[in-house]
Amino acid sequence: MQMPKYLSGKSSLLLVICVIGLAGLRADAQELPSQRVGGSSSFDTPPGLSGNDNAAGHQRLTSLTVVPEDFASLKLAPGFLLGMQVYDVPELSADLRVDSNGDITVPMVGLLHVAGKTITEVQSEIALRLRTGKIINDPRVNLNIEQYAGQNISVLGEVHNPGHLELLAPRNLGDVLALVGGETQYAGNVIEIRRQVNGSPTQLQVHYNQSKDDDSLKSVMINPGDIITVRRAGIVYVLGGVNRPGGYVMQEGGSLNLEQAIALAYGTSMQAATGSIRVARKKPDGSIEEIPVAYKDITRGKVPPTVLQAEDVVYVPISKVKTALTSSLLTSTAGAALIFH
């Protein structure tokens, strides 16, 4: 196996020029989505489907309140309005608003902190206060939620209906993504979650695989106030002696190997020098390394395909000999066609 080497010579200079010219191809890659690996070609996608929000099927979500799966476990928060009734004591009936500190003021009881508690817990606490305060011997307290006060979460990026959801209680990430229509075909395998923890901003990255039955999203809980961003998949560029050069989205879990990338470009052309294929990869320090590829051994199953990274450039050189032979063959064929016409 040859080790990666730094760019040198004329061919390496051509690779550098290709890398510099990628700014224009990035725009093309957004407009022309690649097919999903193992799926049907998106070159046959109906006109109008592209990388922008509207064309990719994005519909802005206006408003949606997500109710908890179990109301008994719903935690109260500032803004909730509670209706209280005490059996046989109608004068104690009242509407109780949870203030910004998470407190309510209960008649004959006074201030009571309820934020983070369930309705059942608050009912029991009010009854205990009424009994220990010798106000009512056997109080039977009933609380109802008159108004909810959830906190918004934002779901952004590569989902079908990005926008805000009003979350009354924590939900798992898989459920939240389903509520906004799921990921688009451009979604990668990284989801970012930003939240406040003890007053400090914190960012969490979740890695998952869309191509498999990955239940990891169900183990990640989303809290009110979170900001979720589904990142776009990376792009790989296939240039030179292929039938459709351009930029291709790394889909199906965000992974793509060399053989798949060339297949997305409709394969190598007749003039391709398949024995000299290389991958140009940008290193963390900004330099570019050239990675030789044993493409013929890959196609014969002798070595595993090279795994590509986002922003890699696969360059398939053009063989001058093959180009000359192809031109000669085309000329001869055209001449014969004229003779027998």
Q: What is the pLDDT of residue 75?
A: 83
User: CA 166 to CA 141: how far, in whole Å?
Assistant: 29
* Nearest CA-CA partner of 34 in 177, 191, 232, 182: 232
> pLDDT by residue (tens digit) across 126-156?
999 999 999 999 999 999 988 887 778 999 9
Q: Which amino acid is at 141?
A: V
User: CA 272 to CA 319: how far, in whole Å?
Assistant: 6
Judged against a pLDDT cut of 60, whether residue 28 lies above it is answered with no
For residue 145, count CB atoms less than 10 angstroms from its CB and return exposed for 0-12, middle for 13-18, buried for 19 or more.
middle
Q: Count CA atoms closer than 13 A to 15's CA, side-chain side.
A: 26
User: How far, rounded to the nearest angstrom, does the alpha carbon of residue 113 sit from its chain's CA centroid?
Assistant: 39
Q: Between 101 and 17, whose confidence is greater?
A: 101
Indicate the pLDDT class of residue 45, thresholds 50, 70 and 90: very low
- Average pLDDT for 201-225: 83
For residue 198, count CB atoms less than 10 angstroms from its CB and return exposed for 0-12, middle for 13-18, buried for 19 or more.
exposed
Indicate the pLDDT class of residue 253, thresholds 50, 70 and 90: low
- Average pLDDT for 229-251: 89
Burial letters 275-294, b for 16+ CB under 10 A, else e: ebbbbbbeeeeeeeebbbbb
- Average pLDDT for 76-93: 91
Q: Between 76 and 168, whose confidence is greater?
A: 76
Lowest-confidence region among 4-8, 158-162, 314-318: 4-8
User: CA 12 to CA 188: how far, in whole Å?
Assistant: 30
Q: Count of CB atoms within 10 A of residue 337's CB?
A: 9
Q: What is the pLDDT of residue 32?
A: 43
> pLDDT by residue (tens digit) across 281-327?
988 888 899 999 999 899 888 999 899 988 899 999 998 755 554 45
Indicate the pLDDT class of residue 228, thresholds 50, 70 and 90: very high
| Structural domains of the chain, with CATH | 5-31+234-328 (3.10.560.10), 78-147 (3.30.1950.10), 150-232 (3.10.560.10)
- Average pLDDT for 70-92: 86
Judged against a pLDDT cut of 60, whether residue 25 lies above it is answered with no
Q: Which amino acid is at 35?
A: Q
> pLDDT by residue (tens digit) across 88-111?
999 999 999 999 899 999 999 999
Residues 6+ apart with CB under 8 A from 76: 82, 98, 102, 114, 115, 116, 117, 118, 119, 122
Q: Which amino acid is at 264?
A: L
Indicate the pLDDT class of residue 51, thresholds 50, 70 and 90: very low
- Average pLDDT for 47-71: 50
Q: Count of CB atoms within 10 A of residue 25's CB?
A: 19
Q: Count CA atoms closer than 13 A to 326's CA, side-chain side.
A: 10
- Average pLDDT for 12-22: 50
Lowest-confidence region among 21-25, 26-30, 106-110: 26-30
Token pair in block for residue 31: 């407009």
Q: Count of CB atoms within 10 A of residue 137's CB?
A: 7
Lowest-confidence region among 12-21, 42-51, 165-174, 315-324: 42-51
Mean pLDDT over the full length of the chain: 77
Burial letters 301-317, b for 16+ CB under 10 A, else e: eeeebbebeebbbbbbb
* Nearest CA-CA partner of 68 in 221, 206, 189, 209: 221
Could you give the C-alpha distances from 10 to 15, 49, 190, 274, 311, in angstroms and in order?
Answer: 9, 39, 38, 18, 22
Q: What is the pLDDT of residue 245?
A: 93
- Looking at the chain, list the stretches that DSSP marks H as alpha helix, in order from N- to C-terminal side: 9-20, 22-31, 119-132, 173-179, 258-264, 295-299, 320-340
Q: Are 250 and 310 in contact (CB under 8 A)?
A: yes
Judged against a pLDDT cut of 50, whether residue 115 lies above it is answered with yes
129 phi and psi, to 5 degrees? -65, -40
Q: What is the pLDDT of residue 321?
A: 59
